[in-house]
A = this chain, B = another copy of it.
Amino acid sequence: MKVIQSTGNTTVKNWKKLQTRKGRNQQGKYLLEGWHLVREALTAGEKISEIMVTSTAFAQIDLQADLPQEAALFEISEEVAQKLSATPSPQGIFATVIIDENASLRPDQATGAWLFLDTVQDPGNVGTMVRTADAAGFAGVVLSHGSVDFYQPKLVRSMQGSQFHIQISQGDLSEWTAAFQANSYPVFGSELNEKARSYDKVGRHENFALVMGNEGNGLSSKMLQQTSLNLYIPLKGKAESLNVAVAAGIMMFALKA
């Protein structure tokens, strides 16, 4: 086990760079923090590159269960843990996970219920929607290329490990929509438009996609035309709209068979 005391260490600086998209792209991995997420990654058989623990956290490790052979183990100081952490009182355990782009399904292979996210920007919203898709029994989530990426730190926290339970993929939503329609799976858009169909009037489905749009602008007109049918949630009060993650949750639980 290597020991790293200094926050100025090059390896620590490289871990810190995983908080940026550029760093993740260059190194091909992302950072997990905390017992819950690290254990979920291990249980799911993710490709773990490094595990970093403080001496306090090391005492709580089950060496057999918690350490895959291929992962490099580092003992880090409390200062290094503080530098890597997003919280004021870190649990003292981190891991880096290899991002495996080839693990993604091709659109024509997908079955089950899918959530498509069209240029959604807020990482907390995206992460919450992945978590909700998992809870609703969805097979996967596809993020359009113009959105954030799945491994942004706040997004990873919001997913709470759901990336290990369901498929997540970044791709071209037009291509995904066309592939679903070629398989006769409906693709439901969501629209703030009272002339659209009410979300609770289309029944429940096994194989389908639901598309949610950008927080401010909703779905692009291109997507609204490409979808099989556009749905809306009738609003009864004076609020002009719902938070996108709340709207997605209401629709996912209503549409999934």
Would you call A243 and B134 a contact (CB within 8 A)?
no
Would you call B245 and A243 a contact (CB within 8 A)?
yes
Q: How far is the CA of A247 from the CA of B249 in the complex (A)?
A: 8
Residues of chain B lying within 8 A (CB to CB) of residue A124: 124
Assess whether A138 is interfacial by the CB under 8 Å rule: yes
Residues of chain B lying within 8 A (CB to CB) of residue A133: 237
Would you call A165 and B246 a contact (CB within 8 A)?
no
Residues of chain B lying within 8 A (CB to CB) of residue A137: 236-237
Would you call A131 and B239 a contact (CB within 8 A)?
yes
Would you call B239 and A135 a contact (CB within 8 A)?
yes
Would you call A132 and B242 a contact (CB within 8 A)?
yes
Tell me how many chains of this kind the complex includes. Answer: 2
Shortest beta-carbon distance from A241 to chain B in Å: 7
B136, B242, B245, B249: which contacts A237 (Cβ < 8 A)? B136
Residue of B nearest to A131 (CB): B239
Residues of chain B lying within 8 A (CB to CB) of residue A165: 237-239
Assess whether A190 is interfacial by the CB under 8 Å rule: no
Q: How far is the CA of A256 from the CA of B236 in the complex (A)?
A: 10
Would you call A128 and B237 a contact (CB within 8 A)?
no
Residue of B nearest to A129 (CB): B246
Would you call A239 and B134 a contact (CB within 8 A)?
yes
Assess whether A250 is interfacial by the CB under 8 Å rule: yes
Assess whether A160 is interfacial by the CB under 8 Å rule: yes
Residue of B nearest to A249 (CB): B246
B138, B166, B245: which contacts A246 (Cβ < 8 A)? B245
Shortest beta-carbon distance from A88 to chain B in Å: 15
Q: Which of A67-85 contact B (CB under 8 A)?
A: none
Most chain B C-beta atoms within 10 Å of own C-beta, residue among A137, A160, A235, A249: A249
Q: Which of A213-257 contact B (CB under 8 A)?
A: 233, 235-243, 245-247, 249-250, 253, 256
Q: How far is the CA of A250 from the CA of B251 in the complex (A)?
A: 8
Assess whether A119 is interfacial by the CB under 8 Å rule: no
B160, B238, B249: which contacts A249 (Cβ < 8 A)? B249
Residues of chain B lying within 8 A (CB to CB) of residue A161: 239
Residues of chain B lying within 8 A (CB to CB) of residue A239: 131-132, 134-135, 160-162, 165
A128-B246, A160-B240 given; 14 more Cβ-contact pairs under 8 Å: A131-B239, A134-B237, A135-B235, A137-B236, A137-B237, A158-B243, A160-B239, A162-B237, A162-B239, A165-B237, A165-B239, A242-B249, A246-B246, A246-B249
